[in-house]
Structure 1
């Protein structure tokens, strides 16, 4: 018996030496906490002497896919709280010489075992995401932290979606923050990748959470050009996000920045009925009578979409109620043509001229009659 136990001791010693020969030393960087480093140091103190008295129960065969890997129970239990719980529990697996690990691929498990024996992190960037998952599954916080570093270092438009999903599912906070910031900065490119499509199909609930985090993350504007800030301001106004508009304006975005059709943030906010964004933009000095490519003002946009609240807000800020677009139509013409009774009423209350004619000679009433908007005909026809 003593000879057999000594043989097992020699085997574990040889295994440690062999594993340490092909793994790179742990590189402790500033991003790892002192606690994690201490944990790694304390974990090296596995009592190998315990293997001498373990007898026939010293080893267990781990089955992962087609892989069959033999390891020492004492090492697994000392390094992984999850394995320790497995061996302590009164189950078939705990007393068996075989343990089936269906959630871990063979090559990944092999690297996990190499780490458990040597505490040296494999430098395998391509395997880092799967190794991170395994590290979380088996409670290996130091390995998990190093894998996070590796995944963060190789974030790209192709990998960001998968990295974000992994980070959320496995509570990898550093990776989550990095992935969310990366996706937010390259949103359209990331969403056009196969990786994003696969994430949506395979894990839609996590993608919903990822999108929520992206939407709630403040935009980092420190390294953006003035043109980029302007584009983002217009997009934020279109979205109706008061917080984003305020952040971008505070960061120096031009309140008069325009898109390719010369529509600025106020045009978009007014046309889509984002009242609080309209209010904020006006407070920040936006030109209430700005013109787009077709010489429409924000008031034209609000009238076209029948937003009486925005019409009144713009009118109170001295918007020109009789401004003409490139066809001579005023906001009241647009409301009349579209049958927008609430907007037309608000415009008339603000002093819009019901008799003004466009370049075709039509009054707002003419357009209402031509389009059979009976209620508007009554409003515009009354004196």
Structure 2
């Protein structure tokens, strides 16, 4: 599925950010935050706080904050003075301090990360016509009502260029104090948006899971699964189909894990006051989604083989990356299988390879 990208994604600094975010180095993640803050402020001034072109930057900023938080937890450096600062010094800009508040605690980091992801999701989904997306963009494309009421996400104090003192208009950097308008995006962005929305939802669901807000994560992932399914049906050729199936596997295993963590084995699972999984049916739901994930993984591997066989000139690196990601999601699937078997033994239910129940969509 070819697509036209927003100009903000063509900036070399954005491409550097994506590279930095693939790192497991805390300094790299913090550098990405400082770069993104500057990109966001420039994009806001050009496109408005709720401009379509700014939405991908909001998401990446939220993702970077979440990655920074996760790495700090993993490395157990939360007590170090530097780790309590989300504002960092950009080593490539003369060491000027940029963006965000100093001495901010982890809960505030996660709150800002969540806000950025929510707003990115809302802007992207709202940009689609009602007949695009699963059930229409308004039906399943945006976050829960009332969760993203500001017109853009906050990146904290300063203007992100390293030339402010962080005090002169720190409050004014939030979107709620700016003109509330949104430019209608170029229709050429529709294909990009259809791919970007589930990516944003998936990242948002991951953050919710880390906060143990598992039922909310399930809700987001059910929406993500609808988007992934639609995109998978539109994939053409081995390259697109391989990626589409792999993303389906990734979403399905995330959904299985989120359902598992809800711990609703002897009670119904309710989301927004509605019963999504009836009492005693949780294992059936999880097994159904897990089996679907296994089927999607088989399709992914088959299409990957086709792609490897027929790959074009210059595609070797991309094929290698896709192969690596397919291996990673396969390992995750196997790991979850072990958890599932252990829980079935604990609950005293059937422990066969295939499991029972079949897939239930939880609608």
TM-score (norm 2): 0.26
- Bigger RCO of structures 1 and 2 (CA < 8 A, at least 6 apart): 2
